[in-house]
Structure 1
Amino acid sequence: MIIGAILKGKGTEVISVGPADTVLSVARVLSERRIGAALVRDAGGALLGIVSERDIVRGMAAHGPGTTGRSVEEFMTRDLVTVAPQTLVTHALALVTRRRIRHLPVLDGDRLVGLVSIGDLVKARIDEAEQEAEELKAYVAAAG
């Protein structure tokens, strides 16, 4: 299975915030949308980074109570790890495991086409394994 198949099922909506948005406003977006990360994009839509719950917690640990009023640009992860729609789910799972990250922006060339989480990847892999098991059962039943 490829990443593009996941996006067909979950959709391509990506929640983005601006680099000058406060940590508090981003935390509210993450909470309201029940998501773990948002992409950080400039006014022209260019991808600048990603901010996750983990980034916010680390910022709070380093800067204390004043963190919520600071800009997300101070805490976002700039070194993005991305995948393409044609990337195999198994490759993406290895990538998130090796890099210890939870979200992968999906780029088709330079164009952002979605975002997948480790949860999306695991669900896709489980669905694929269940389908394979059903096909094997059907094959054995037909052969028997």
Structure 2
Amino acid sequence: MTTVAAILASKGRSVITISPQRSLHEAVDVLSTRGVGALVVTGVDGAVLGILSERDVVRVLGSDGVRALDNTVSRIMTSRVKTCTPYDTIDELMAMMTEGRFRHVPVIADGKLAGIVSIGDVVKWRLAEFETEHQAMREYIATA
């Protein structure tokens, strides 16, 4: 079974993080300029404290309006972060994401942040797998 490590090897391990003391306005700017859907919130020691997603931003803007932008990231972030390891299978990751209804999962290795996987990364990987299988079947049929 293919593991999360394969996705990280393909896409890279860079993660955009933010401090919990930063304002939501600053976080929105980072989300926008970096073109990402979530920021991992980390402490000074690099420990994962939470995750701030586009959905979190929309939720708080919907309830509090623009004044929500003055809040700190720590007040808005999801602090009960679901994580995975590089050794988890892609099937396990897909099940976790589907059950939890979230699109970004930080990857933790040896207690440290080692990457992040989005639902888009998973879909891209699965499509590549299907294409490889499809091509192998075509070659098999052509030689049979």
Tell me if the contact between 2:20 and 2:42 (Cα under 8 Å) persists in the aligned partners.
yes
- DSSP 3-state at the match of 2:83: coil
Tell me if the contact between 1:89 and 1:124 (Cα under 8 Å) persists in the aligned partners.
no
Partner of 1:67: 68
1:86-105 residue pairs with structure 2 within 5 A?
Answer: 86-105=87-106
With normalisation by structure 2, the TM-score equals 0.95
Tell me if the contact between 2:20 and 2:73 (Cα under 8 Å) persists in the aligned partners.
yes
Q: Per-residue displacement from partner, 1:56-90 (whole Å, max 9, x unpaired)? A: 11111222221111101001001111111111112
Mapped partners of 1:4, 1:60: distance in 2: 35
Mapped partners of 2:69, 2:42: distance in 1: 19
Q: RMSD between aligned alpha carbons?
A: 0.9
Q: Share of identical aligned residues, percent? A: 38
Mapped partners of 1:91, 1:139: distance in 2: 30
Partner of 1:116: 117
Partner of 1:141: 142
Tell me if the contact between 2:16 and 2:40 (Cα under 8 Å) persists in the aligned partners.
yes
1:31-110 residue pairs with structure 2 within 5 A?
Answer: 31-110=32-111
**What are structure 1's unaligned runs of at least 5 residues?**
none
C-alpha displacement of 1:9? 1.1
Partner of 1:130: 131
Corresponding letter in the other structure for 1:71: T
With normalisation by structure 1, the TM-score equals 0.95
- DSSP 3-state at the match of 1:30: helix
Off by >4 Å, runs of 4+ in structure 1 = none
**What are structure 2's unaligned runs of at least 5 residues?**
none
C-alpha displacement of 1:109? 3.0
Tell me if the contact between 2:47 and 2:112 (Cα under 8 Å) persists in the aligned partners.
no
